[in-house]
Amino acid sequence: MQAKLKIAIQKSGRLSEKSLALLQECGISFNLGSNTLRTESHNFPLELLLLRDDDIPAYVSDGVADIGILGENVVLEKGYPLEIVEKLGFGKCRLSLAVPRATHYQGLSDFAGKRIATSYPKILGTYLRVAGVEAEIHVISGSVEIAPSIGLAEGICDIVSSGSTLLSNGLKEVEEVLTSEAVLVAKPHLEGEKRDIFDKLLFRLRAVRRSQHNKYILLNAPQDKLDQIIAILPGLKSPTVLPLAEEGWVSVHSVIHEDDFWEKIDALQQAGAEGILVVPIEKMLI
């Protein structure tokens, strides 16, 4: 009987949908009902466990799951000996300190001797200790934003995405403690068949991730401008160059990273490139 790799993901919340979408883009299919907590893929040796985000580190550490997708902030707060294998580029947020909007905030030292409500006492405690600030950390598991308005604390430390929740609760962000995103974690020292399955999954995942950040570009270029255009477009090894029916012209194919996209396009047009086509990449294997 073939071994199955067990992966834990968030059953609901901001990472759940994108975690499932990532697995689907890797060609892995699941039958999911509305109350499904465990299911197996029918086309890849992977078993899916849908859990509370906060429980995933313990499940992976204990070997109930082999790998997991969750927020980096949760990994750091729980402190289990897990390997962060890959940052996944979605679910980006920050853990920040915030105070009531009317507060005249001058710096981190303003929190000295004050009460800070948070669900992240370990991360916050380390941050304050390194900064040399002594404050009282009040641990609460939810609705952190209301703590100042009910007199529980003078400030909070909580996850911020857009900042709209802080705004609606009369708070302002004053210090960034940590940046976070979804990460793939694994129990160290996976071996045997499970290691082989994990390596195959990781190969697929990285191919999908690379495709999301690159575009395939095709353009027509005059032969006498080819060297200049190739200098702008170094492909994975070098651009592909094909002759066109019209004498003195070639077709150039390459890949551009999204961070350089518009700058490269401008440079190509100035160098004489014409008929530029940009195509999304579904998978990128290197």
pLDDT at position 148 is: 95
Token digits of residue 115 = 């009460």
3-state secondary structure the chain: CCCCEEEEEECCCCCHHHHHHHHHHCCCCCCCCCCCCEEECCCCCEEEEEECHHHHHHHHHCCCCCEEEEEHHHHHHHCCCCEEEEECCCCCEEEEEEEECCCCCCCHHHHCCCEEEECCHHHHHHHHHHHCCCCEEEECCCCHHHCCCCCCCCEEEEEECCCHHHHHCCEEEEEEEEEECEEEEECCCCCHHHHHHHHHHHHHHHHHHHHHCEEEEEEEEEHHHHHHHHHHCCCCCCCEEEECCCCCEEEEEEEEEHHHHHHHHHHHHHCCCEEEEEEECCCCCC
Q: In whole angstroms, what is the distance from residue 22 CA to residue 119 CA? A: 28
pLDDT at position 143 is: 87
Residues of the chain with CATH 3.30.70.120: 214-280
**CATH class assigned to 93-180:** alpha beta
For the whole prediction, is pTM greater than 0.75?
A: yes
pLDDT along the chain (286 residues), means of 10: 89 90 94 84 95 94 96 95 94 95 96 97 97 96 91 95 88 96 93 94 92 88 91 76 91 87 89 90 79
Q: Quick one: CATH architecture of 214-280?
A: 2-Layer Sandwich (3.30)
Q: Angle 9-79-47 (CA atoms, 0-180°, nearest 5)?
A: 25
Bridge-based pairing of strands 46-51 and 5-10 is: parallel
Residues of the chain with CATH 3.40.190.10: 5-89+182-211, 93-180
Cβ pair 286, 236 in contact under 8 A? yes
CATH of domain 5-89+182-211: 3.40.190.10
